[in-house]
Amino acid sequence: MLLLDGRLVPGTGGSFETINPATEEVLGTAADATAADMDRAIGAARRAFDETGWAADHAFRARCLRQLRDGLRRRAEELREMTIREVGAPRFLTFGAQLDAPVGDLGWFADLVESYAWESDLGRAEPMGMPSHRRVRREAVGVVGAITPWNFPHQINLAKLGPALAAGNTVVLKPAPDTPWCAAVLGEVIAEETDIPAGVVNVVTSSDHGLGAQLTRDPRVDLVSFTGSTATGREVMASAAGTLKRVFLELGGKSAFIVLDDADLRAACSYAAFSGVAHAGQGCAITTRILVPRERYAEAAEITAGTLAKLGAGDPADDRTICGPVISARQRERVEGYLELAVKEGGSFACGGGRPADRDKGFWIEPTLITGLSNEARAAREEIFGPVLVLLPHDGDDDAVRIANDSPYGLSGAVHGGDVERARSVARRLRTGTVSVNGGVWYGADVPFGGYKQSGIGREMGVAGFEEYLETKAIAEGL
């Protein structure tokens, strides 16, 4: 069902199927919204912002966010199984970023509502000889259009919804057609288990990608928060320019995992393999370029390929699975296109390179390591979004930094080295929004996430992410 103006309703376009990517079975159907439904959602969000006290009542918003968190927690096991089946997410990830962590993060934003300095006093001044008392207020932007992808649906839906609501905005959420149930359940919990007023949140599932463009163009929408590919991000930005609305863009990545010459090569390469193909590599911040000392390239290839072969591709419902299926036949074809391209560019497969021989149903790609390419190859420069890693040689710290930064993207990165201060020094030189040093985990509600260059505009999560959804107003009173 859609959530429109406080009511759970069917889509006027009927329904569309959602598919289990591990088996290709039809799980069921989701409400299929039309442009008319989206128009109604935008209108409801506009009225809720303009005509209710939602934006002004900080304590009420904090309470509603905690209600949403608690309602989702009560349905945690149901949501866990749904996420494994609809997203193809390995079970182990649902105890972290695929479910439990983003639900818990709602509490952090509720706390922030109560502790945030909504107004600051600049004191008295006499500009142009006129005595004045100045204050600065932070206020909600207004109506937020949130457009989200399929790879980490709970995390990304809630990373937009939580801070946007905490800031006092109203929201229209347009999720990806591949994972409509993960968004529809938010509408159910909001309608049935929270006091969030009608129109404050609207959830619009649809098979029509064009509804996202409708959100970006509509003058009633004040800000668009989009997560997805860089190519689509450009289209969102261009479309939003017509009404000069603000945009937050969290886009693609081709992040580097740098192994320094004093690192434990086996530990570093094994960790790079594990992290690179988790959830079939379907994460924008996953490190998919592994940079190793040139003189140890062959050894690194053997270690990384051996780890990938042991991990394999498995049933996401299995507790031991790290790499599950990719989301769809379309995505599998995209990944296979890059595998063919890598061979044409002169690369070879140290591991994987195709579909698992033992699976005739589902959208599977073997964990794959490509060797023999330079950083100029398309397979080394473009985001593949599959369980495919590229091994590249470097000639020391300066060369590793040069190669890592030689990318249109700048979302994430990793550095492994024996000398921690040296590793930190390399990390500081990377032009990326997040960096892990020796396995450090940067994910958290309090940590801003986003990228440099073509990896996006703005930050999500943390105080910085919360403030993306605020306007600044200066008030001066004559004395």
DSSP letters for 181-245: HHHHHHHHHHHHH--PPTTTEEE---S-THHHHHHHH-TT--EEEEES-HHHHHHHHHHHGGGT-
Average pLDDT score over residue span 11-17: 97
Q: What is the pLDDT of residues 284-310, one digit of tens each?
A: 999 999 999 999 999 999 999 999 999
| 13, 83: one domain | yes
Q: Is residue 442 part of a domain?
A: no
Q: What is the pLDDT of residues 381-409, one digit of tens each?
A: 999 999 999 999 999 999 999 999 999 99
| 157, 269: one domain | no
Q: Is residue 444 part of a domain?
A: no
Of the candidates 186, 183, 164, 185, which has an alpha carbon nearest to the alpha carbon of residue 175?
A: 183
| 146, 53: one domain | yes
Residue 117 token pair: 């300095």
Q: pLDDT tier at 4 (50, 70, 90 boundaries)?
A: very high
**pLDDT exceeds cutoff 90 at 232:** yes
| 177, 307: one domain | no
| 195, 145: one domain | yes
Q: Kindly list the distances between the CA atom of residue 104 and the CA atoms of 15, 83, 109, 146, 446, in Å, as whole numbers in the listed order.
A: 31, 16, 10, 20, 12
| 244, 264: one domain | no
Q: Is residue 39 part of a domain?
A: yes
Three-state helix/strand/coil letters over 76-124: HHHHHHHHHHHHCCCHHHHCCCCCHHHHHHHHHHHHHHHHCCCEEEEEE
Residue 209, pLDDT score = 87
Q: Is residue 443 part of a domain?
A: no
Q: Is residue 449 part of a domain?
A: no
Q: Supply the range of the domain harboring residue 64.
A: 2-251+455-478
Contact 141, 169 (CB under 8 A): yes
Q: Kindly list the distances between the CA atom of residue 27 and the CA atoms of 83, 157, 180, 448, in Å, as whole numbers in the listed order.
A: 12, 21, 11, 35
Distance CA 434, CA 457 (A): 14
Q: Is residue 447 part of a domain?
A: no
Q: Is residue 448 part of a domain?
A: no
Active site annotation includes 250 = yes
| 89, 21: one domain | yes
Average pLDDT score over residue span 308-332: 97
Q: Is residue 244 part of a domain?
A: yes
The residues pairing with 172 across neighbouring beta strands, listed in sequence order, are: 145, 202
| 243, 263: one domain | no
Average pLDDT score over residue span 37-63: 98
Q: What is the pLDDT of residues 132-175, one digit of tens each?
A: 999 999 999 999 999 999 999 999 999 999 999 999 999 999 99
| 330, 421: one domain | yes
**pLDDT exceeds cutoff 90 at 471:** yes
Distance CA 314, CA 364 (A): 9
Domain of 337, CATH number, reads: 3.40.309.10
Out of 25, 139, 193, 250, the active site residue is 250
| 416, 467: one domain | no
pTM over 0.85: yes
Number of domains in the chain: 2
Backbone angles phi, psi at 358, to 5 degrees: -95, 10
Domain of 235, CATH number, reads: 3.40.605.10
| 200, 275: one domain | no
Q: pLDDT tier at 335 (50, 70, 90 boundaries)?
A: very high
| 42, 72: one domain | yes
**pLDDT exceeds cutoff 90 at 196:** yes
> What percentage of residues in the chain have a pLDDT greater than 70?
100
